[in-house]
Every structure is written in C-alpha cells, then in structure tokens.
C-alpha cells in the first residue's frame, strides 16, 4: 500500500540573543539567495563610506536582498538553462538605516559597490526595532531611581527582574511621538517562566534616539503572580505523571528523497528555492512541478512568504491597550528565529540550513539551523481503490505553541471578579488576556505562467420546482472571474466557495482552464471596529482574501514602516486604486486567523494549536498525477488491506 509523503520546512520563532558562528560554504549563488556574510560586510562599508561615521550617527534597521526585476529574472532563468554563462540580474541590497535621526532607504549595488539610490522617508511610521536598541532600552530602568524604588515598595529583588520593550502603536495623535518604546518587567525568583510573573502597573517610556527614559509612572501595586506551578521544564515537574510514551523512529535506509543544492530544494517532482529574510523569515520562490506527460517543469508560485502577523490584545488597561503586535514589521519575524533542536523540533531524518541577518552596526550575525527540511509519512494513502464488482477477483490498486501574555491581578478566584477584566483567570493573580492571531501570506502564484485570473466559484442551492425529479433541491457551481481588485475581496465563512487562480490562456484537453485552488484553514474576521486605531493599521485583515496586480514594492501588507504607522500604506490602501487583475500577473493575499480565549490548559505553557492552508491543483493536470509516483523499491506492499475509504 503506497502512503503519501510530505516534505516539511520547519521554522522556529523565539526571542533570543544570537551568536556569530561560521556557516558552511554555499554553492553557486542564485539571484534570489539571501545575502551572504561578505555581502553584509560590503553593504555596511559602502553605506559607511557614503555617510562617514565621523560625522554621522548610523544604525542599520534592516538589510535584505533587493529582489531582482521579475521579468529579468524569469528571462535569465530561461536563458541560463541553455546558456549557463548568461549574466544574472544585478545583485542588490535594500537597506533601511537611521542616519542622523532620519530614516534612509538605500539600494546598494553589489556588483559595482556603490549606492544606486538614497531616499529619506518623511512619512509616518518608523523602521523595525533592532535587538540592540531594545536591549539597551530595557536596561535603562535598572539605573532609574524611581523604578528601583517601585521594586523596593513591592518587596522585589532587582537581580530577579527581567525587562522587555513594546512598540507603542498609534492612537489618533496628530504629532509624531518620535522613536519611543514602553518597557515592561517580569520577575523570576523560583521559575524560568518569567512571562507568568509580570510586574504590573509600572509604565516606563524610553526615547530610542536619545536612549533615555522620558516618562515613568507607578500607578498602583498589583500582586505579582506566584512562581509555584509556572515552571515548564521537565526536570521541575512533580509526580504524579501520566503514562510514559514510547519512542518513534523514522528510518530512511537509502537517505532522503530530497536534494539540497545551495538554496535549491528538489523533492519528487517539485523544485523550489528557499531563502531567508530578517523581516518575514522563510521565503519559498520559483516553485515548479515536473509534468511527466508534458516532460517539462511548470511554474506554480513565483514567491511566497508570511507578509505580516497581527496579534492585538483586548485588554484596555493603561499598561496594556497599546499591545497590538505587528510581529514582522515592528520586531522582525525572521530576527526572532532561534536554532531548531534535533529530535525536539525536528526528526532524526531532518537536514538543517542556517541564515544570516545584520546587526545594528551592519555586520552579519549567523542564525544556525533556522530551517529543517524533512520527509514524513503523512499517514494517509496517496490513492487507493478496492474493486469488488468483478467477482471472484479482488483488485486492490495502490499507487500556534508559546507563552501567553498574562496580566497580574488582585483576584485569586473567579467569584471575586465583578468588573470587566478582559480575560480569563488562569491561576491566582494571573489573567490571560483575550487576543487574536492573524497571519497574512503573500502568494505570488504564476500558474503555468504570469498571466493569471482569480475565479470565485460559489456553490449555489437550486430548488427543483418542476416534476423532473423526486428531489427538491441540488447545488451547482456558479463561477465569476474577478476583473478588478474590488471584485476579489472576500470574507470567508459566509458562503461555500471554491477559490481558484487560473491561467485563462492555458486549457486542458477537456477545455478547462488550468489552475490552482486555495483551500483555507481556520477562518476568523476582526471583531474590533473599523475606526479603532489598531484596526486602521491592520486593515489588511478586513478580508481573508485579496488579489492585487504584481508590484515589486507591494510585499509587506502593513507597509514598509509599521512602528507607529497610521494605516496609509497597507494592502487595503493599495487596493483602493481598484486596478485591473484579469489575465494579469497577480498576487493572492490570504489571511488566516483565530480568536484566542485563554483557558487554564494554556497555563503555564500553551499547547500547540495547528492550522494552515493548502494550494492544490485544479485542472492543472490531465489526470491524477500521483498515479505515476513510484513507491520505495525495498518495501513489500500487501495484496490487500482494511480501509474505510470507498468509491469516490
């Protein structure tokens, strides 16, 4: 019996101090490869030479690949197959730097070692925060007398306090606040799970440019939650325990079926490029599938990545209302990666890949093992059918985890609560705030080419009003091709629908347009009002599906500058132009999400919540392509098996 297998790319996100460790030598460079350590060093030198540090204060907020022109890259890929000496598109870096307290956008040419453009941003919003300035801001409080007095008043030991920074958001101010953050602190003293022991009601505001405290307030004393029961380490758990689980081993005696060549990954009939970005993390590019009948690779997706993550908390207290996180644009989704651990994060048959990001001074920092790639049995068969209609023959054919943000509280039992507390009492003096998770994906699908259309096929109920059948109703498919961006905006959950990206210029032998369909995961819509300031900034979550014409500059759904942004440069504002999208090079934007009501099982460590989505062929092939997939030769398949599957 042939089982379907899947290839997985795992990626881990946590806040951590990153170390500089040499990475193994890369093979021939691809135009979409992440920047190398040498390239980071060259970028830093070029920028510093153009703005001498003797007269300029320079910090590098972001350095990443300046994606080549799409058509130039596709042309190069086509020519490179026949003429390998063809020069690739220009290799460039995109840099966001603070130079003398101004935000500069720079494009650096890595062939000629010069600056192609240097633009000063004068609009709203600021670039993502660096680890260095966040760490610097959080350390200021330990030399601030009012803060030390506040700890003393609570009977807390300074040595057991750890602090972190929070972006302040925007709440209708007409004047810009400057680059400031707020600092919140936690208490250890008996646990490593500091997030379960917040020190509440202290507000510290830090100016990042001057690196000094500009505001301090100690509003009231709230009990710090107890350490008991918060430590999640296995060594700290006490009896009684549940039954011990047996080990599971994945054995691939002939090695994995995938091949990694530099940043190129090949598995079965798939071929794609894998890279890394400090802001959005992993990027999958040039995903193509080999069609055995056509004897050619057919492109499915040009580029796909997580564009933004929006996590707003519903707590309106003074120290919490601004906690409306934009993980990619404020903090750097990729910057928050930590090394994956063998046999804990990834199975024994995994292969690991590392990446580099830039430090605040522009120098490269290695992030080892941020990817792991592995195969696993998906647990279901690719296809099967047992035929019993030809007696006497029997023919069998085969072929989101982490830690909650909790607020300290005076309450020790639910019955004491007689006010709105914006969350669930999880333990004594511990409230888990209600919040949302929205993940927006940028999916530049090129289904058999760049010219695509978006089709929404509604499943429409039809009543039988004549006597043609004993049935009273049936449903049919009513398809509509979106002509403009407004036509393509969809809120999922209200209607049954099939969502497809098709190539209207390519048909199967049966006359159907070739396509790929989106099979959504968990569906959630924002519950905040449209005029609420966090929702204005995150207007890209108002719809689950958007479609835009391809534009190289439109890749981050919340805009380039998220910190204190005002919603004037988001996916929602781009689509207000209502551009034509029929038979064009288009990008599909998909937002999945869920509303999180905390429960006691989420304390002190939240169990994993899984969700996702699928992109699945829809008339892309002439017939089921897995018929031609060959199973392992060293496995003896049974003649028959028991299965609940039937004729479909």
| Each residue's pLDDT tens digit, 541-574 | 999 999 999 999 999 999 999 999 999 999 999 9
Predicted pLDDT at 646? 34
Q: Are 497 and 457 in contact (CB under 8 A)?
A: yes
Query: What would the two tokens of residue 180 be?
Result: 């400031």
pLDDT-above-70 percentage for the chain? 89
Domain contains 144: yes
Above 80 in pLDDT, residue 498? yes
Task: State the first-to-last Cα distance of the chain, in angstroms, to the nearest integer.
Answer: 18
Which whole-number Å values give the CA distances from 441 to 159, 328, 432, 465, 558, in the listed order?
42, 12, 28, 44, 12
Above 70 in pLDDT, residue 304? yes
pLDDT-above-90 percentage for the chain? 73
Above 90 in pLDDT, residue 7? no
Residues 149 and 43 in one domain: no
Query: What would the two tokens of residue 499 be?
Result: 């969502």
Predicted pLDDT at 628? 75
Residues 453 and 352 in one domain: yes
Above 70 in pLDDT, residue 206? yes
DSSP-derived 3-state class of residue 571: helix
| Model confidence band, residue 627 (pLDDT cutoffs 50, 70, 90) | confident
Taking only the tens place, the pLDDT of each residue in 344-401 is 888 888 999 999 999 999 999 999 999 899 887 765 555 555 444 444 444 446 436 6
Taking only the tens place, the pLDDT of each residue in 418-468 is 999 999 999 999 999 999 999 999 999 999 999 999 999 999 999 999 989
Q: Which residue, 97, 120, 143, sits at the end of a domain?
A: 120
DSSP-derived 3-state class of residue 83: coil
Domain contains 115: yes
- What is the residue whose two structure tokens read 């009003």? 465
| Model confidence band, residue 14 (pLDDT cutoffs 50, 70, 90) | very low
pTM score:
0.91
Element (H, E) at 398: strand 395-398
* Mean pLDDT (whole number) for 84-100: 92
| Model confidence band, residue 209 (pLDDT cutoffs 50, 70, 90) | very high
Q: What is the CATH number of the domain that holds 109?
A: 3.10.450.40
Q: Are 473 and 519 in contact (CB under 8 A)?
A: no
Above 80 in pLDDT, residue 633? no
Residues 449 and 557 in one domain: yes
Domain contains 107: yes
Q: Which domain holds residue 63?
A: 37-120
Q: Are 63 and 47 in contact (CB under 8 A)?
A: no
Above 60 in pLDDT, residue 63? yes
Least confident piece of the model among 361-365, 476-480, 551-555, 621-625: 621-625
| Model confidence band, residue 79 (pLDDT cutoffs 50, 70, 90) | confident
Query: What would the two tokens of residue 398 be?
Result: 């085969």
Domain contains 390: no
Above 50 in pLDDT, residue 24? no
Domain contains 634: no
Sheet holding 351-358, edge to edge: 3-11, 364-381, 351-358
Predicted pLDDT at 27? 44
Mean pLDDT of all residues in the chain?
A: 88
Domain contains 635: no
Residues 490 and 598 in one domain: yes
Q: Are 407 and 431 in contact (CB under 8 A)?
A: yes
The total number of structural domains in the chain stands at 3
Residues 289 and 365 in one domain: yes
Residues 362 and 266 in one domain: yes
Predicted pLDDT at 637? 40
Residues 149 and 285 in one domain: no
| Model confidence band, residue 261 (pLDDT cutoffs 50, 70, 90) | very high
Predicted pLDDT at 233? 86
């Amino acid at each position: 019996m042939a089982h379907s297998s899947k290839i997985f790319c795992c990626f881990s996100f946590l806040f951590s101090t990153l170390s500089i460790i040499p990475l193994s030598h890369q093979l021939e460079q691809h135009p979409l490869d992440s920047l190398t350590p040498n390239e980071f060093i060259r970028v830093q030198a070029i920028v510093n030479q153009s703005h001498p540090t003797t007269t300029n204060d320079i910090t590098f907020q972001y350095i990443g690949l300046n994606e080549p022109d799409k058509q130039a890259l596709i042309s190069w890929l086509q020519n490179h197959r026949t003429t390998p000496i063809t020069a690739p598109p220009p290799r460039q870096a995109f840099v966001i730097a603070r130079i003398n307290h101004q935000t500069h956008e720079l494009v650096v040419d890595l062939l000629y070692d010069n600056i192609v453009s240097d633009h000063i941003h004068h609009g709203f919003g600021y670039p993502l925060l660096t680890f260095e300035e966040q760490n610097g801001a959080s350390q200021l409080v330990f030399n601030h007398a009012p803060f030390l007095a506040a700890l003393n008043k609570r009977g807390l030991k300074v040595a057991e306090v750890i602090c972190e920074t929070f972006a302040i958001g925007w709440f209708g101010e007409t004047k810009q606040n400057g680059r400031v953050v707020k600092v919140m602190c936690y208490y250890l003293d008996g646990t490593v799970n500091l997030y379960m022991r917040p020190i509440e009601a202290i507000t510290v505001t830090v100016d990042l440019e001057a690196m000094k405290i500009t505001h301090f307030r100690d509003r009231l004393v709230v009990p710090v939650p107890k350490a008991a029961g918060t430590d999640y380490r296995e060594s700290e758990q006490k009896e009684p325990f549940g039954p011990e689980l047996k080990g599971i081993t994945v054995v691939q005696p002939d090695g994995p079926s995938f091949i990694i060549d530099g940043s190129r990954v090949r598995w079965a009939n798939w071929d794609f490029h894998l890279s890394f970005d400090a802001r959005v993390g992993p990027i999958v590019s040039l995903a193509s599938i080999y069609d055995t009948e056509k004897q050619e690779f057919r492109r499915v997706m040009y580029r796909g990545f997580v564009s933004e993550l929006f996590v707003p908390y519903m707590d309106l207290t003074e120290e919490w209302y601004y906690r409306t996180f934009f993980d990619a644009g404020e903090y750097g989704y990729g910057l928050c990666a930590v090394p994956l651990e063998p046999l804990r994060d990834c199975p024994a048959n995994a292969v690991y890949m590392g990446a580099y990001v830039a430090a605040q001074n522009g120098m490269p920092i290695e992030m080892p093992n941020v990817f792991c790639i592995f195969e696993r049995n998906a647990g279901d068969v690719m296809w099967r059918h047992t035929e019993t209609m030809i007696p006497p023959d029997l023919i069998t054919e085969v072929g989101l985890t982490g830690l909650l943000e909790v607020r300290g509280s005076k309450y020790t039992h639910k019955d004491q609560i007689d006010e709105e507390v914006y969350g669930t009492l999880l333990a004594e003096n511990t409230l888990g705030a209600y919040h949302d998770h929205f993940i927006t994906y940028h999916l530049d699908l090129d289904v058999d080419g760049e010219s695509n259309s978006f089709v929404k096929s509604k499943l429409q109920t039809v009543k039988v009003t004549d006597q043609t059948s004993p049935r009273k109703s049936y449903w049919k498919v009513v398809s509509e091709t979106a002509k403009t961006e407004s036509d393509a905006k969809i809120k999922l959950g209200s209607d049954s629908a099939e969502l497809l990206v098709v190539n209207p210029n390519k048909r199967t032998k049966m006359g159907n347009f070739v396509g790929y369909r989106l099979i959504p995961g968990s569906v959630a819509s924002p519950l905040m009002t449209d005029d609420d300031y966090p929702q204005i900034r995150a207007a890209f979550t108002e719809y689950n599906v958007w479609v835009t014409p391809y534009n190289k500059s439109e890749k981050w759904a919340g805009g380039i500058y998220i910190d204190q942004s005002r919603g004037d440069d988001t996916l929602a504002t781009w689509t207000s132009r209502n551009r034509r999208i029929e038979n064009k090079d288009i990008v599909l934007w998909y937002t999945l999400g869920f509303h999180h009501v905390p429960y006691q099982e989420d304390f002190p460590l939240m169990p994993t919540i899984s969700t996702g989505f699928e992109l699945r062929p829809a008339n892309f092939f002439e017939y089921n392509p897995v018929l031609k997939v060959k199973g392992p030769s060293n496995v003896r398949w049974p003649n028959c098996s028991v299965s609940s599957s039937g004729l479909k």
